[in-house]
Amino acid sequence: MCFTCDARSLGRRGLFATGAALLATAVAPAAQAQTPARPDTPAAAMQELVEGNARYAANLMRRTDFSARRATLAQGQAPFAAVLGCADSRVAPELAFDQGPGDLFVVRVAGNFVTPDGLGSLEFGAAVLGAKVILVLGHTSCGAVNATVEALQKGNTLPGHIASLVTAMKPGIEPALAQPGDDLIRRALVANVRHSVRTLETSTPILADMVARGALAVKGGIYDLATGRVELI
């Protein structure tokens, strides 16, 4: 086997690398100039999520060159919003709100409820990274919510650690079973999201203080799998 380099080939490769570097240098400022300003208030952050979801639902998402921001993001992050979402594979917050890398601080667990680890992560996202809003994002046809409703109605036990999901979601969903009406699953979805919202906005010592000072807002929403639209609740 020959390990001798072809000097001419190496020269061409070096020229190509130099040209690519110069091109990247020339393009990067223009790409950065097109990056929207980061929302700096809870209201502005929420408005950006609303507008981004409208673009997504209408299939008018912004064309984004992720490579242009990659080097900058390697130096640090400053997400403008945090999302507590479900682990469901059909719900991708960055897509649903038409955002790129570095824009959203996402915590996911089946059933989008607050866990100790998730709470700590969201505290970090808000207090350290500067997220202005936390959105608790439920979704239609949520298997975790459906399983919890069925378990509460029938008393059945789910296998393994799946049962712990029902235990955690029970306080938020159980009151919905006592309410009248045929839309039990819808009521359970909303109740589960609102329970997590209340848990987060009253969580001491960090989040409750930020909410009281107006530095952070905690909101809830339901993502419709069929349409891609998020309904704020």
> Which residues does the annotation place in the binding site for Zn(2+)?
86, 88, 139, 142
CB 111 within 8 A of CB 169: yes
Q: CA-to-CA distance for 97 and 54, rounded, in angstroms?
A: 8
Q: Which residue has the tokens 């980061």?
A: 38
Q: CA-to-CA distance for 130 and 146, rounded, in angstroms?
A: 34
Q: CA-to-CA distance for 224 and 30, rounded, in angstroms?
A: 36
Check the CA dihedral 142-146-192-58 and report its sign: positive
Report the binding-site residues. Answer: 86, 88, 139, 142
